[in-house]
Amino acid sequence: MTARRRAGGRGRTRRAGGDSRDAAGQPVASVRPHGLGASSGSRRPDGAARVSTAPHRVRIVGGRWRRTPVMVPDVVGLRPTPDRVRETLFNWLGTRIEGLRCLDLFAGTGVLGLEAASRGAKRVLLVERDRRAREAIGRIAARLDPDGVVVEVAGGDAWERLRQLTAAGERFDLIFVDPPFAADQWHQALAALPAILAPDALVYLECDASFVLPIDWQPVRTARAGQVRYHLLRYAGSALPAPDSTRELCA
């Protein structure tokens, strides 16, 4: 076998710059294997091949929309609650979810609120400030609840939304609090929630580190999955004894 055939194979040669030529020295178009790099005609403005950033998915695990995939947009810091964590949470809640008014305060993918709606919640308000994440929630909500009878998607700042809900006299039976972990907003949220809690309301809180739970909040259930700690809480107000002003929850 000649050196030329060893270098290029089947009469092709490869130059130092990486372009292929046939035995006559004419350029040969490069063929990219299927699934690698950009699709036909898909190029960045600078000509570089597009790197795929296709979002992954989670799924609704129970109820009438069971197994429905929920897209996770490519948004920095977006961290959907894992399927098995949601399954545990809603096993804790059981049939109590039916007919509840729910608020998903930092909706992200919206999967917590959508799970509640799937399992029989009467109303679910999902609040998300990031436009791409909110639009993704809106698309799946329009498909699952086209008349908007149960699911409502709202934008804007979570704290401003809380002020509006308080001023309007809104009350919720179940509130999901899963803010971006880096923001460390758990205390701020817990301080603002009592004004919109219905009697016997529950709050789901998800965190990744130890923090001090105010004495007015009583843990009903608590668990962990890897680095994620998650808790079902009830606001007890002054009903709890208070020898200490705080307690450790996420140990």
Is the pLDDT confidence value at 37 over 60?
Answer: no
Residue 74 banded pLDDT, cuts 50, 70, 90: confident
Query: Which pTM value belongs to this model?
Result: 0.72
In a domain, 149, yes or no: yes
Domain assignment present for 224? yes
Structure token digits, residue 130: 């990031």
The reply to whether 1 falls in a domain is no
Q: State the CATH number of the domain containing residue 122.
A: 3.40.50.150
What strands, in cross-sheet order, belong to the sheet with 27-28? 13-14, 20-21, 27-28
What CA–CA distance (Å, rounded) separates 177 from 195? Answer: 15
Nearest CA-CA partner of 118 in 64, 167, 165, 72: 64
Q: Is the pLDDT of residue 1 over 60?
A: no
53 domain residue, yes or no? no
Q: Does the residue 22 lie in any domain? A: no
Q: Which domain holds residue 203?
A: 62-248
Inside any domain, residue 218? yes
Q: How many domains does the chain have?
A: 1
What pLDDT, in 10s, does the model give residues 207-228? 776 667 788 899 999 998 877 7
34 is a domain residue = no
